[in-house]
Chains A and B, each alone.
Chain A
Amino acid sequence: MNSTEDATRLESAPPPSGDVALDVRDLRMRYGTKDVLTGVSFTAHRGEVLALLGPNGAGKTTTIEILEGFRMRSAGEVSVLGEDPAHGNEAWRARLGVVLQSWRDHGRWRVRELLGYLARFYVPFATADVSRPWDVDELIKVVGLTEQANSKVQTLSGGQRRRLDVAIGIVGRPELVFLDEPTAGFDPHARREFHDLVHRLADFENTTVLLTTHDLDEAEKLADRILVLDEGTIVANGSAEQLARELTTQAEVRWTSDGRRHVHAVVEQDPTSFVRELLEGDPGATELEVKRASLEDTYMTLVHRAETDQTTTDRAERLDRTGQTEEVQS
């Protein structure tokens, strides 16, 4: 399990199938006449932490539920740990961890009893490489619930419950863990503890993690790679720095000419050529300013558009405007 070696090999050549935990190709999902996923493709290699980032309604939950085997897809090829989740058997299920958002299930159970009960199901699925399940007391310690081990689940605080959810998700020592909006409703402290836990999983256990979030900050903190999902398709895929370059194609160029202030939004990747032409064509231009939108700005635009649910005409209008130069009051 040498992850650095894996990573370098992966970049140069297509990875051997044994190193790929997730392989999704042209995944499509349609409910009635509504297309929720319009062609999602990505891979994850073992030990990688992937964040599926996107505004509400982008299709994150649908994607993760298809991969978990809880939802049938309309089209596309999906391989999760080498198997199609639509036909995954119990042995396949034993290699997966699904962190569910608990609500009030098993409220009467005590923490240790519930984990001990669920752990039993994984015993027959231990292999020479992976000893299953976790030792329950050790796991309780890892998620920081030792003091609550004999408490009833319904007496736990929100943060403690989520840590129990994680413990339940990983009690079978999964090779791949799914987390859907794991920190929704967390206070900053609980969120931070949760982030530490995910890091520990990926670092010590070489577990592949796929999580969904609508919070860019969380994706940046947790993930090796971020996939931005928008309107049912992946619009960007890379590390946070790569995303900043890929996604933020817009830049604003401002300058003063003849005592008037001008602003021009550049749509194409690189504002340099616009600036060169500008300076060559207008020797009187001064106070030149080139400002590229930050990753956060770009993501916020995306979220805002999804929330206001703009029609295609609105979007076309916006695109029209970006090519024009406007005069602004200084």
Chain B
Amino acid sequence: MTTTTTTRSDARWVAVRAGLSRGWLETKYSIQEPADLIWTLAFPVIYLVVLLFMQGSTVPGTDFALGASVLPGLVGMSIGFGGLTGPASTIAVDREDGTLLRAKATPNGMIGYLVGKILMFALTTLVSLVALIIPAFSVAGDLRLDARTWVLLILVFLVGMVATVPISVALGSLIKRASQTGLLFLGSMLLIVPSGIFYPITALPEWLQWVGQAFPYYWLGLGARSAMLPESMATAEIGESWRTLEMFAVLGVWAVVGMVLAPIVLRRMARRESGSTVAAARERYMTQGY
């Protein structure tokens, strides 16, 4: 009895390590692929353009550079957008092209698949964040950059990934066709409106403030602002505070909800996968083109 349990957990551990190498390989492939790289570098490029336009402008009523005040929001958005839309759309695609079925046909293959996906999204989001920070050096003088900044940023990044990736996996498992992933992007964009990333949340009607605060985007943006902006800027926030505890609490709730939901939904979806469902998807692509 003891020996079986040991070998079983051994086998799972082997799958986790295989998954890590999968994540590393897929990150490598993704960086080598121009189509993917455009996505990864989209935010940094947009930010660069925004910085050019905002040159010399300051936040109204202060002498704080406008360009610097936008950066934390973009950092938060990169984490949220990468974590929420990325895994969902890949799962929908992998389901149709048979990648998931191969994982299912391999012992502990689903563990390897999931670990690989999470690592890949963490790494590509990190690449995009690093690329975002490079143009930010031009406004570094206005930012608060000390040890606390980096610790907090790393924490926000990690908690952000844990809060968004499982939810995204669950959403991706609910999508019936890869062509429906566009809806996810749309939904994600809509959620950015009340997130306080581009427009101060305190200027929104109160009900919209509550909507914004229910989703991870606002808290990821807030977390990034609390890490990178000087203490005086907290006055612009709700309650005139960075609300660090609340931020980790809300993101933590999302993480728990996601981690409870994702395995259930994923398992239910994977159970239905078989050679004929993949064949049906291929047939549909051949005849209808989507």
What is the interface of chain A, defined by CB distance below 8 A to chain B?
A: 61-62, 64-65, 68, 70-71, 90-91, 93-94, 96, 98, 100-106, 108-109, 113, 117-118, 120-125, 168, 172, 180
What is the interface of chain B, defined by CB distance below 8 A to chain A?
A: 7-8, 10-11, 14-15, 17-18, 21-22, 25-26, 29, 33, 94, 97-99, 101-102, 104-109, 112, 273-276, 278-279, 282
Report yes or no: B274 in contact with A65, Cβ–Cβ below 8 A. yes
A96 (CB) vs chain B CBs: closest residue: B105
Given known A-B contacts A100-B101, A100-B102, A106-B99, A90 and B275 have beta carbons under 8 A apart: no
Of B33, B99, B107, the most chain A CB neighbours within 10 A belong to B107
Report yes or no: A117 in contact with B279, Cβ–Cβ below 8 A. no
Task: Give Cα A172 to B18, complex, Å.
Answer: 15
Task: Give Cα A282 to B45, complex, Å.
Answer: 97
Report yes or no: B107 in contact with A98, Cβ–Cβ below 8 A. no
Task: Give Cα A101 to B276, complex, Å.
Answer: 10
Q: Which residues of A contact B274 (CB under 8 A)?
A: 65, 68, 70-71
Partner of B102, one of A62, A106, A180: A106
A-B contact pairs, 8 of them (CB 8 A): A101-B98, A103-B278, A105-B97, A108-B26, A121-B106, A121-B107, A125-B11, A172-B106
Given known A-B contacts A90-B108, A100-B278, A124-B10, A117 and B98 have beta carbons under 8 A apart: no
Report yes or no: A105 in contact with B99, Cβ–Cβ below 8 A. yes
Q: Between A and B, how many residue pairs show CB distances below 8 Å? A: 90
Report yes or no: A124 in contact with B11, Cβ–Cβ below 8 A. yes
Given known A-B contacts A100-B98, A100-B278, A108 and B14 have beta carbons under 8 A apart: no
Q: Which residues of A contact B97 (CB under 8 A)?
A: 103-105
Report yes or no: A100 in contact with B105, Cβ–Cβ below 8 A. yes
Task: Give Cα A101 to B274, complex, Å.
Answer: 11
Task: Give Cα A94 to B7, complex, Å.
Answer: 13
Partner of B98, one of A96, A102, A121, A180: A102
Closest 3 CB pairs of A and B: A70-B274, A124-B11, A94-B107
Task: Give Cα A180 to B25, complex, Å.
Answer: 30
B275 (CB) vs chain A CBs: closest residue: A180
Q: Which residues of B contact A117 (CB under 8 A)?
A: 18, 21-22, 25, 112
Report yes or no: B29 in contact with A105, Cβ–Cβ below 8 A. no
Partner of B14, one of A102, A121, A172: A121
Task: Give Cα A103 to B21, complex, Å.
Answer: 23
